[in-house]
């Protein structure tokens, strides 16, 4: 898969758009999350355990069978995978769950959790301390 940075550099260097279009592949949610598992050498079972999601339901989310608009569940997986903000927002957008928006108090705490590589429990404590709804499971 061609990386975003490579595409941006190619465009800056006036590469032919037709050549770039041949190199990219639009991934769906399941393909992208599996790409991330592979990229970071992660095991699904370990990530599901760390996310705190119910195992069967989490596998269905990963396969793209469940969890449309499931922002908290996708965030839990992203947090367990130690993803970047960009990777997390891409996963969320592929799931039609919307990006994390830093001008929203709850999303700001979620972004902070990603940046600080916090656990689900640590993020929930932070949400609780600010009288905000904890992550759904």
Report whether 97 contacts 69 (CB < 8 A): yes
pLDDT (tens digit per residue) in 53-74: 999 999 999 998 877 668 999 9
Measure the CA–CA gap between 133 and 70, rounded to whole angstroms.
15
Dihedral sign from CA coordinates of 103, 108, 111, 116: positive
Measure the CA–CA gap between 98 and 96, rounded to whole angstroms.
6
Which of the four pLDDT bands, split at 50, 70 and 90, describes residue 3? low
Q: What is the CA radius of gyration of the chain?
A: 16
pTM: 0.81
Measure the CA–CA gap between 80 and 55, rounded to whole angstroms.
14
């Amino acid at each position: 898969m061609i990386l975003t940075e490579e595409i941006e550099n190619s465009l800056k260097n006036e590469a032919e758009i037709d050549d770039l279009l041949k190199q990219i592949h639009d991934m769906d949610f399941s393909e992208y999350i599996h790409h991330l598992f592979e990229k970071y050498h992660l095991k699904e079972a370990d990530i599901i355990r760390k996310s705190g999601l119910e195992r069967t339901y989490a596998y269905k989310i990963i396969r793209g069978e469940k969890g449309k608009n499931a922002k908290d569940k996708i965030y839990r997986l992203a947090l367990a995978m130690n993803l970047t903000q960009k990777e997390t927002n891409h996963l969320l957008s592929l799931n039609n769950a919307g990006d994390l928006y830093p001008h929203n108090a709850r999303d700001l705490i979620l972004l902070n959790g990603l940046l600080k590589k916090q656990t689900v429990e640590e993020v929930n404590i932070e949400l609780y301390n600010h009288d905000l709804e904890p992550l759904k499971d």
